[in-house]
Structure 1
């Protein structure tokens, strides 16, 4: 009888694409994939290290796995595994830890997955993680996350990602087109392009290759049949060029939706963070997007409580975001990370104050999101419905990323419909009149 294996992913869309690819390595070798809440022989946990509670989350997931199968083999991979392998190996129940260069080889490295007295650590310096591994999620949801870039050459003072994932590297446009066509053949309608620093795609001059993200987007737009929607998961403002914005504005496949990290609306703090732009660049990008796509959804990452951020600096960020024509925020209270320059900076902001500032921005985010949604009431648009069901309602997204809720109907799953947006429900989701649902003719 084949061994059963279950997977759990913490963190970003990139991690989801890699977990899915690792799971396919197991099924190709005859393992049976099961849901994480089921009894399994092996549990693989893909970790994140963006915030300071990675250890707590990892321990909790290991504990949950062993509730289902006390004698199961537990392996930990991902960013946290690269940064703190010894620490993870000491978590009760962990049998193996694999770093960035080893995670795609875990089936070969771990062999029979027999438990030993001591945790096994397979870990190399991050400089050895210099190969690009093609990855995409498959069979998990209506949308597929397709990894096109990995690693980062930036040196932001708060970030451990370069230490966890290594230098920037990319797939080729040719290989990505091949993957996109494979995904299209499976019936998936939407692909989300993911990476650590997407705008840095293809810049590998040391290898004699210079492709750009614009060239990739243009090729996907023109050459992939069967995919209705492409989304760009996140792109740095200094790398979001006018030609990329123009391509999205004129494309029928690239959705009017950008997620653009800001991190701070204070030039002083941006300089301390070693970001590669000042706030005027951000203002210009938003203005350019909205001039060409007035209904475009724009999401923003922002960090509060960074060292030396005074109340005046925070209010500068708050007012900047309040006046900006954006749609929602992802807010992170700053958390100290080992081996970063910011860890030892003066002007530490108390945790309580960081949380207060984060709460203020989250309230602002809700206001921004509601205002963005309300602007679209009465409009007709296209929605791609997903399989997720909550309280008898299924959800979907408009082209510009407005979340829609309708009464569950299995026929709607993975279908694109023309709908009229009628108002917000108690959960802040957009409602539509079911009588007006019409299947789009392809």
Structure 2
């Protein structure tokens, strides 16, 4: 290292809040740091450098980020605390003023994390570029993944939609796609490294390729990965409901590689609320899509994101959301209590609800989600599922996203085995035995 620069100690711990994109980026940063000679340790252990990769989707995630910063400083008061991610992108000055924070770096700066750490004392405390000006999506390097069995492949970043409640476009910038050939190379590399499944991730995955020259599409990408033959199981991350075409569905049906699982950001089942959110579709489209998916793939797992308590949401609007979800073949819900984000259109809207109302509606949606999860899982009792063994070998994940716990022994981690489902647990996971 150059004289006068911080004599960097080598134990580094990273913790991550938020989406799969953040998880991928944390794994990539960790891999780059290890390659540069750092020792990666769990966040719960004493480290010389702590990196908190933050999320800012809700006020709760902001608070959790601040808690983790304070925790890192307590674990080793002499440590350097680095803050990055979406909260850092939008509130760099606020975070830089926190005691013990050594560096705040934006989302674009993650790919230069090694250089920034090597020159901490010679670097400004805030390293956050204007992400709105970023027009390229460099693929972050990633040879391995902590999950060991499933590789997350970031193929797209940013969002152009600016839904009224969402801060993400401000934190992630414009939509940018990783070049087509780089994604294919990444998928092949993941397969050759022994990952049993590749998961495509992005902030707005459905618009993948529209900014490339020549233009490409998400469908073309999954068709190319499927045709390549190296990936055994391909899972698609969250896709907007109005971006799932009949051709898209037909290809998933015909593919032996693409998993029968789609996560859709529904957000509301009320047309007035969807319009106020700026979602660009109505409840009829959601109902039609869910019915098309299950008609084409009876075993498909459909997940919904839902926001509870959006400004102006009436009891009738909430009831419409509950009724729509109740009527559809939904496998699970991710429920988010509405959180006002400064700078978004929704933050300036009238009709913000009391926190007790938001909490109650979120809890009602969660209970409905648990009921739907249980019913979906029970439909597979006596059925055979292809299960990718994970963790300690005692459980795995089915192609349709069900968690399956093995009753009789341990499977080989990373292998897909045939399991006959014998029962369902209270958390919606299944039990089953490996078939000979």
Of 254, 258, 265, which aligns to 1:254? 258
1:384 maps onto 2:388 in alignment: yes
Structure 1 partner of 2:4: none
Structure 1 partner of 2:5: none
Distance apart, 1:321 and its partner CA: 0.8
Of 76, 80, 105, which aligns to 2:83? 76
Between stretches 157-166 and 35-44, larger displacement belongs to 35-44
Aligned-residue CA RMSD (Å): 1.9
1:113-132 correspondence to structure 2 within 5 Å: 113-114=120-121, 120-132=125-137
Distance apart, 1:59 and its partner CA: 1.9
Question: Could you say if the C-alpha distance between residues 3 and 113 of structure 1 is closer, same or farther in structure 2, counting changes exceeding 3 Å?
Answer: farther
Structure 2 partner of 1:89: 96
Of 286, 292, 298, which aligns to 2:296? 292
Question: Could you say if the C-alpha distance between residues 5 and 319 of structure 1 is closer, same or farther in structure 2, counting changes exceeding 3 Å?
Answer: same
Distance apart, 1:212 and its partner CA: 0.5
Distance apart, 1:28 and its partner CA: 2.3
Distance apart, 1:428 and its partner CA: 3.5
3-state SS in 2 of match to 1:348: coil
**Partner Cα separation in structure 2 for residue 104 and residue 144 of structure 1:** 19
Q: Is the 8 A contact 2:9 2:49 kept in 1?
A: no
Q: Is the 8 A contact 1:137 1:146 kept in 2?
A: no
Structure 2 partner of 1:341: 345
Distance apart, 1:128 and its partner CA: 2.9
Question: Could you say if the C-alpha distance between residues 12 and 408 of structure 1 is closer, same or farther in structure 2, counting changes exceeding 3 Å?
Answer: farther
**Partner Cα separation in structure 1 for residue 133 and residue 48 of structure 2:** 30
Distance apart, 1:64 and its partner CA: 2.6
Distance apart, 1:170 and its partner CA: 0.3
Question: Could you say if the C-alpha distance between residues 208 and 191 of structure 1 is closer, same or farther in structure 2, counting changes exceeding 3 Å?
Answer: closer
Q: Is the 8 A contact 1:145 1:191 kept in 2?
A: yes
1:1-400 correspondence to structure 2 within 5 Å: 3-114=10-121, 120-135=125-140, 136=142, 138-141=144-147, 142-204=149-211, 208-225=213-230, 227-387=231-391, 394-400=394-400
Distance apart, 1:279 and its partner CA: 1.4
Distance apart, 1:245 and its partner CA: 1.1
Question: Could you say if the C-alpha distance between residues 67 and 137 of structure 1 is closer, same or farther in structure 2, counting changes exceeding 3 Å?
Answer: farther
3-state SS in 1 of match to 2:279: coil
Gaps of 5+ in 2: 1-7
Distance apart, 1:426 and its partner CA: 4.5
Q: Is the 8 A contact 1:51 1:335 kept in 2?
A: yes
3-state SS in 1 of match to 2:235: strand
TM-score, L = length of structure 2: 0.94
**Partner Cα separation in structure 2 for residue 132 and residue 232 of structure 1:** 19
Q: Is the 8 A contact 1:100 1:129 kept in 2?
A: no
**Partner Cα separation in structure 2 for residue 92 and residue 159 of structure 1:** 29
Distance apart, 1:2 and its partner CA: 6.3
3-state SS in 2 of match to 1:8: strand
Distance apart, 1:113 and its partner CA: 3.7
Distance apart, 1:388 and its partner CA: 5.2
Misfit runs of 4+, over 6 Å: none
1:406 maps onto 2:406 in alignment: yes
3-state SS in 2 of match to 1:124: coil
**Deviation by residue 1:59-84 (Cα, 9 ceiling, x = unmatched):** 22123323332211111111111011
Structure 2 partner of 1:425: 425
**Partner Cα separation in structure 2 for residue 63 and residue 133 of structure 1:** 32
**Partner Cα separation in structure 2 for residue 388 and residue 262 of structure 1:** 34
Distance apart, 1:6 and its partner CA: 1.3
**Deviation by residue 1:117-164 (Cα, 9 ceiling, x = unmatched):** xx8111222223332121358230121111011000102000011100
**Deviation by residue 1:73-129 (Cα, 9 ceiling, x = unmatched):** 11111111101111111222211001123222232234244599xx81112222233
Q: Is the 8 A contact 1:73 1:113 kept in 2?
A: no
**Partner Cα separation in structure 2 for residue 36 and residue 408 of structure 1:** 34
Q: Is the 8 A contact 1:73 1:114 kept in 2?
A: no
Question: Could you say if the C-alpha distance between residues 114 and 322 of structure 1 is closer, same or farther in structure 2, counting changes exceeding 3 Å?
Answer: same
Count of aligned pairs: 427
Question: Could you say if the C-alpha distance between residues 162 and 137 of structure 1 is closer, same or farther in structure 2, counting changes exceeding 3 Å?
Answer: farther
